[in-house]
Amino acid sequence: MEVIIKDTYEEIGIEAAGIVKKSLARKPNLVLGLATGSTPLSLYGELIRMRSKEGLDFSGVRTFNLDEYVGLKPEHPQSYNFFMRENLFKHINIKEENINIPDGMAENLEEHCRGYEEKISGAGGIDLQVLGIGRDGHIAFNEPGSSLGSRTRIKTLTEETIQDNSRFFTGAEDVPIFAITMGIGTIMESRRVLLLANGEKKADIVARFIEGPITSEVTASVLQMHPDLVVLVDVKAAQKLKRAKYYRWVCENKKKLKTGNPTC
């Protein structure tokens, strides 16, 4: 695990976009796992800038989104399909046939989930998975208590998640109760994972998932076992990390390496 602490939310996005850019340079047909919500917006904004100003090429990229609400049509303003198109896809040169987002309106949801897993496998697996983290430690919609070996499936959202997401709707009563979500086991098979977190409200859970025990009550904690995890946090989200000084020390000294590909 590599923990990188930045001063601001904007710097997190710039650093994360740099990691994506380097990954694309190594593999133009990158398989990229994507997240929604407010956290990755600075990343997506910087990728859009890189496309516009630097010509960053997404024509060979294939994407797989983590989740989608059950019962929302793709064109619904609060669907994750709509979110991704408005905040990234319509601004870059990705091919429509390379975009994969769970279908919350699928006639047979269980069959659709199995098919989504097969699509990921058929693409050769996810090279780089972008994640955010919920206040209760969930990744994607893998709520507390989820199996750490789970696959893409239907998940019932907790009241806390519904309340957190109600800010995007007219009220909590309008937030769907069910979602399709990529499973923890699926996420853990990604070759590299990039988790972003910002703000004081995430400080407790950031400390728990990085430095606490591995437990299904904090599903993000299983990422401690991932062989290539990069965590990008701002100073507000990092304020309760007991080893913050060490993480900064690691980053400072990795810059001196003359071999490898240090992130810092």
Q: Provide the residue-wise pLDDT of the chain in tens; the chain has 264 residues.
A: 999 999 999 999 999 999 999 999 999 999 999 999 999 999 999 999 999 999 999 999 999 999 999 999 999 999 999 999 999 999 999 999 999 999 999 999 999 999 999 999 999 999 999 999 999 999 999 999 999 999 999 999 999 899 988 888 988 889 999 999 999 999 999 999 999 999 999 999 999 999 999 999 999 999 999 999 999 999 999 999 999 999 999 998 887 775 555 577
Q: Is residue 50 part of a domain?
A: yes
Residue 127 annotated to the active site? no
Element of type H or E holding 189: none
Q: What local confidence, expressed as pLDDT, does residue 167 receive?
A: 85
- Cβ count within 10 A of residue 19: 18
Q: Is residue 263 part of a domain?
A: no
Catalytic residue (choose from 15, 46, 127, 138): 138
DSSP 36: -
Catalytic residue (choose from 68, 127, 143, 164): 143
Q: What local confidence, expressed as pLDDT, does residue 170 receive?
A: 85
In angstroms, how far apart are the furthest CA atoms of the chain?
A: 55
Q: Is residue 7 part of a domain?
A: yes
Q: Residue 146: give the domain boundaries.
A: 2-254
pLDDT digits (tens, 9 = 90+) for 122-179: 999 999 999 999 999 999 999 999 999 999 999 999 998 999 888 889 888 899 999 9
Tokens read off for 77: 């303003």
DSSP 51: I
127, 130, 154, 125: which is closest to 142 by C-alpha? 154
- Cβ count within 10 A of residue 96: 6
CATH number at 66 reads 3.40.50.1360
Q: Is residue 99 part of a domain?
A: yes
Q: Is residue 161 part of a domain?
A: yes
Q: Is residue 165 part of a domain?
A: yes
Residue 204 annotated to the active site? no
Catalytic residue (choose from 15, 46, 67, 127): 67
Residue 68 Cα distances to 100, 149, 209, 250, angstroms: 11, 20, 24, 37
Q: Are 4 and 233 in contact (CB under 8 A)?
A: yes
Domains in the chain, number: 1
Q: Is residue 264 part of a domain?
A: no
List, in order, residues 6 or more apart from 13 with CB less than 8 Å away: 40, 41, 42, 43, 44, 45, 46, 196
Q: Is residue 259 part of a domain?
A: no
Residue 7 annotated to the active site? no
Residue 138 annotated to the active site? yes
Catalytic residue (choose from 15, 68, 127, 136): 136
Cα torsion 223, 225, 230, 236: sign: positive
